[in-house]
Structure 1
Amino acid sequence: MPPEQTPRELQVLLDAQLGLVTQAQLTACGFPRTRVRKRLEAGHWQRVLHGVYCVTTGPLTRPMTLMAALIYGGGPALLSHRTAAEEWGIVPADPSVPVHITVPYRLSAKGQSPTYVGGGSARFPVPAVGSVLHPGVVVHRSRAHAYIGLDTAMPRTTLADTAIDLAVAEPTARAAYVSLISSVTNRRIRLADVRQRLQERTPRRYRRALKDAVRLLAEGVQSVLEYHFAVDVEQAHGLPRADRQGPVIVDGRTLWEDCEYTGCGIPLIVRLDGRWSHSMREVKFRDRRRDNAAELAGRPRLVFGYEETVGTPCVVAQEVERVLRREGWVRRDENPCPACESFWSEWGPEGLTGGEAA
């Protein structure tokens, strides 16, 4: 649209909205529908969503895609759920999935299917006909809308609210449980904020699962790997609950052990090596010094990575139990894990402890 034909008020709006505008805004600026239709038919403009137009002819950038969804939803709209999680860095961005927005409960905005590029007579470079111009919009409604957003250039839900919404959108309670733990640990979200938001806007489903996730996080779980160890190894196999993130002084520095069983009278240390940073030279040196400190203190230690903890939790549990028994721990109940039955039938109780158990 040539500058000389653009009313100043409309040009300011277009600059603020990355070249995007709604039919209602155009009408308010005195731009009639007939002129809008002519520009669309000539291929000078593009129809992005229902009632939302772009005054350029090229493909949309990600900021333009998000802005289109927001102005479609109206002034109060917030980026939310997976889209807000992408903007917060909780999950990787995927331009093929719809943009999620949340609006106040009273608004009647409806979701939009993807918009495809149609034919036109533009003399300018345009996206290929039939390609996706905009991935569409998923509209959520919230009675707590006024309390869950951040007023930024592209408003979005708060970090804690985003983590909760992402978890509640999962298909199962277990997936919601893992999602919340993953979001909180990977993005270092303040647990106090998550707990407060769960109290203020109690989700309609997965309440028990999310409450259990917060409890596990409060016990010191700081990664998805630690979650799998706590749930799939300890809980699933009836092992004692470890103390997590216990401090240890090495070379005058305070370091932290992932899991230790001093609370049940056993000096065993379990380290969970699942972070890329363990390959860094400084971290390798720190871990060696910590290993030496444990050896000098006469403390047994086991180290597990993501592959064995997630892929073969029964084997990990058997190794942990073997050391626990060797150090004096006595199992009072049967192993509740059904997957371990084949192991017990093949090896018997002695196979787990090398004949040391009573």
Structure 2
Amino acid sequence: MKARTVVPAQLMSIARFQSGVVSRGQALEAGLTHTGIRGLVETGRWKHLARGIYSTGEIGWEQLLWAGVLIGGPGSTVGGLAAAHQLGISPQPETIDIWAPRAASYRRRAAPSPWDFHRGIRASRGNPPHLSVEETVLDLCAACGPDGITSWIGKAVGGWLTTPDRILAALDRTPNLRNRKLIRECLEVISDGSNSALEARYRRDVEQAHGLPTGRRQKSVSSGTASDVVYQEYGTISELDGKLGHRGDGEVRDAWRDSKHLLLGFVTLRFGWSDVAQRPCEVAARVADVLRMRGWDGLPQRCPDCLHIA
């Protein structure tokens, strides 16, 4: 009768730390032989995940994360949507992004596999190692448009995982990041409110670019309020909702104030940062239509990017 292979205590300790996943190199270093490893796999005690990577127990999400990190080699870390899932701001993705040092070899990767490897040295934290909240958010923002940027930053900041200042600090450390300008504007809007970057973009890309009247900024229409952009002569208000928090109690307060202004003869239009950043021509068309309905006799002009202004 063939003797049962004994797994060294040192390797068992490593496996516990790595959610039950070990590499062939770790097993050999701990004292197992190639024959012993083969026997563990053939008897079903270990399960093969990829070339040279094994699970000593169940195979689930955590095991696949660790397998990707071990395939990538020392210094590898989980990134992308997989890191976002670890942080609790994204559903579990089908593909696990792994950042690995440039010298790492990915020959042990199974094909097809759940891993997508990216070469680069990235700081990591946690178990399994993954990108920080700030680096994860920036990576995801770099791959999407204004709506996505707003969403990812909103999830991280609104979930109290980080702050705009911490994301800005991380952004300063990545000078070549794609969408850098849009990300910075979004963070400034969230940090400072619509009196800064969002209002400046509305003035430039909505009003000036399309020949609309210039509204008065931060004007009080009713007692105790200050509206972002007021077209007094035409009884129209544009509110620029750049801050997080226009949901729940904030949304109720906004609706109450809008109804109060409506009784005073003012109609209120509300636009978010992604509206102004991504769809300024559509915003201008909407504002122009309302202004004309309320007495403006001008005509909006087409900007170089205009697709929606008649």
TM-score of the superposition, structure 1-length normalised? 0.62
Aligned equivalent of 1:108, options 99, 104, 111: 104
- Partners of 2:148 and 2:131 lie apart in 1 by 17
Q: Which residue of 2 aligns with 1:196?
A: 169
- Once the two structures are TM-superposed, the CA of residue 220 in structure 1 deviates from its matched residue by 4.7
C-alpha contact (below 8 Å) 1:81/1:162 kept by paired residues: yes
CA separation of 1:265 and 1:251: change in aligned 2, threshold 3 A: closer
Q: Which runs of 5+ in 1 are unaligned?
A: 117-133, 344-358
- Greater mean deviation of Cα atoms: 233-242 or 154-163: 233-242
Q: Report if the CA contact (8 A) 1:230-1:241 is conserved.
A: no
SS at match of 2:307: helix
Cα pair 1:109 1:139 within 8 Å, conserved:
no
Deviation of residue 178 (structure 1)? 4.7
The one-letter amino acid paired with 2:130 is: R
- Aligned letter for 1:9? Q
- 1:232-266 deviation digits (Å, cap 9, x = unpaired): x838756579899x7989998xx996xx3149998
Deviations along 1:26-82, whole A, 9 cap, x unmatched?
1111100111112223443222122111123x5x21111112222333342221123
Aligned length in residues: 292
Aligned to 1:50: 51
Of 223, 236, 246, which residue of structure 2 is paired with 1:268? 236
On the 8 A contact 2:222/2:261 being kept in 1, the answer is no
1:149 aligns with 2:124: yes
Quick one: percent identity of the two aligned structures? 22
SS in 2 for 1:340: coil
Q: CA deviation at 1:321?
A: 1.7
Q: Structure 2: which 5+ residue stretches go unaligned?
A: none
Q: 1:166 to 1:287 in 2, by over 3 A?
A: closer
| Cα 1:87/1:26, change in 2 over 3 Å | same
Deviation at 1:87? 2.0
Asked if 1 retains the 8 angstrom alpha-carbon contact of 2:206 and 2:283, the reply is no
| Equivalence map 1:27-176=2 (5 Å) | 27-56=28-57, 58=58, 60-94=59-93, 96-97=94-95, 99-105=96-102, 107-110=103-106, 113-114=109-110, 135-142=114-121, 145=122, 148-150=123-125, 152-168=126-142, 170=143, 175=144
Alignment partner of 1:215 is 2:185: yes
Separation in 1, partners of 2:37, 2:293: 80
Q: Secondary structure of the equivalent of 1:339?
A: coil
TM-score w.r.t. the length of structure 2 is 0.70
For the pair 1:181 / 2:156, whether they are aligned, the reply is no
Q: Work out the CA distance in 1 between the residues paired with 2:134 and 2:214.
A: 27
1:54 alignment partner AA? S
Structure 1 residues 3 and 32 mapped into 2: Cα distance closer, same or farther (>3 Å)?
closer
Q: Contact conserved, 2:237 with 2:268, CA < 8 A, in 1?
A: yes
2 CA distance for matches of 1:34 and 1:340?
Answer: 70
Distance 1:72 1:137, change over 3 A: same
Distance 1:241 1:6 in 2: 76
Aligned-CA RMSD value: 4.8
Measure, in 2, the Cα distance between the counterparts of 1:328 and 1:3.
90
Secondary structure in structure 1 of the residue aligned to 2:71? helix
Quote how far apart the aligned CAs of 1:157 are. 1.3
1:40/1:47 contact within 8 Å kept: yes
